[in-house]
Copies of this chain bind each other. A is one copy, B any other.
C-alpha cells in the first residue's frame, strides 16, 4: 500500500538519534535509593518510584516483590478527524528507552502529569491543547484504565479519544492515518505501542455488515449484538462475586523489606531468577536538540502471552474471559484474556492452554508479538493470540471463565478497572480482524 506511510516511517528512523546504555544504579542522575526505605526515587519526588509490595493471599501465605509506584495519572490521547467519510487518527512516531526497536507508533498525546507540569523542564507536550483546557475537542472516549497489575501499583491512565474541533498544525513526528490503515498496521510486530492499543481498544467502531467468511461475520455481529450468552448484569455480578471471594491483602512496603530479591550494582533481581529485573539506563536522544536523562526500567525475563479463545454462539462471536488476580490492581481482580502468561509461567496445567497453543493454523486468527510500555519496561514483549475454538470444545466453562461478546467488553470499557490491559490490547487486535 503506497500511501507514504513506509516512507514517513523510514524517514522518522533516519531523523532519530537515540542511544540507550545500561548503567549501574550509582550512575543514575538524580535517582537514588532513599535512606531507610531503600526505595528507588527521583530527587524531585516526581515520575515514579520503585518500592516493595507485600501480598497475603487467601491461605494467609505471603510474599513480596518490587513494584513500580506511579500515582499520578497521565493522558493517553488519540486525536481523530473525519476525512472523506473515513475516520483518521493522528499517530506519533515516538521513541522510548525500553523499546526493542526505538520507534513505535504511539497515540497523539502520551503525557504524564510530570510532562504537562513540565518537571522535565523540556518543551510542552505537542497537541495537548486538544485534550485539556478550553480548546478541547469533542470527547468520544474518556476513562481511567488500569495497567499491568504484576508490575505497577494501582496505576491507571486516562484513555481519551477526541475529535479535533480546531486546526491541527502539521509536524514531522505526527501523521494522520486512516482507520483501516491503522487497523492493518496492528498486525506488524512491535509497531503499534501499548498506549495506542489501549486507547484504540476503547474506541467505538461500526464495522461493516458484509463479511468475507463465517468467522468475520460472527465477529462483526459481536460488535452489534444486543444480547449474548449472558446479560451484562450477569457478567458484572459474576465479577463482583470474584472480587468478593478474593481475600488478597496487598500493601506497599519499603523496597528494602522485600524478601527473596537481591540488589547488585546494576540490577535488582529475584533470587531464583524469576519474574523480572529492575535495571538502570542512560538515554541520549534527539535530532537538533539533544536530551539526556537516566532512569530505572523493569525488564521481564522473557516474552509474555495473552490469548483469547473465541467461538460463535448463534452466529455471534464470543470471547472467553477469566477473572484474574493481579496484586497491583486496585481491585485485585479484573477481566483478563482466556490465557495470560508472564515470562517463565508454565502453561502446563492452565485451562485452555492446549486448545490455544496447539491449535491448527487455520483456527489462529491473530498471532503477533507486540511491546509493552517502553517508558517503564525494558524489552517487554507479549505474544497476542486470537484462536477460534474447535467446534468440538465442550461448552461448559470453569467458574472463573465466561463467554462474552465484543460489544459487552466495549460497553464495560466506558468504565475503568473492568478489563485489564492485556485484554484491551487483544481487543485492539480484534479490531484489525474485519
Q: A residues within 8 Å of B by Cβ?
A: 45, 60, 71-73, 75, 113, 139, 142-144, 158, 233-234, 236-237, 240-241, 243-244, 247, 249, 251-252, 330-331, 414-415
Contacts and interface: CB of A to CB of B under 8 A. Distances in A.
Most chain B CB within 10 A, of A113, A241, A252, is at A241
B73 A244 contact: yes
A71 B240 contact: no
Contacts of A233: 139, 142, 414
Given A251-B252, A414-B233, A240 B142 contact: yes
A252 B330 CA distance: 15
A131 to B, nearest CB: 10
A98 to B, nearest CB: 24
Top 4 A-B pairs, shortest CB-CB distance:
A142-B237, A73-B244, A142-B240, A139-B237
A293 to B, nearest CB: 22
A236 B330 contact: no
Given A113-B247, A247-B113, A415-B415, A236 B142 contact: yes
Contacts of A243: 73, 144
Contacts of A330: 330-331
Nearest to A45: B60
A158 B330 CA distance: 16
Main SS of the interface on chain A?
A: mixed
A113 B415 CA distance: 27
A71 B249 contact: yes
Contacts of A75: 244
Nearest to A250: B71
Contacts of A249: 71
Nearest to A73: B244
6 contacts: A113-B247, A139-B233, A142-B236, A142-B240, A144-B240, A144-B244
A168 B240 CA distance: 25
A50 to B, nearest CB: 15
A408 to B, nearest CB: 13
Given A158-B244, A244-B158, A330-B330, A236 B72 contact: no
A54 to B, nearest CB: 12
Nearest to A234: B139
A152 to B, nearest CB: 15
A240 B143 contact: yes
A236 B143 contact: yes
A233 B240 CA distance: 23
Contacts of A142: 233, 236-237, 240-241
A414 B231 CA distance: 13
Contacts of A158: 240, 244
A59 to B, nearest CB: 13
Contacts of A251: 252
A234 to B, nearest CB: 8
Contacts of A60: 45
Contacts of A113: 247
Contacts of A241: 142
A243 B237 CA distance: 26
A331 B155 CA distance: 11
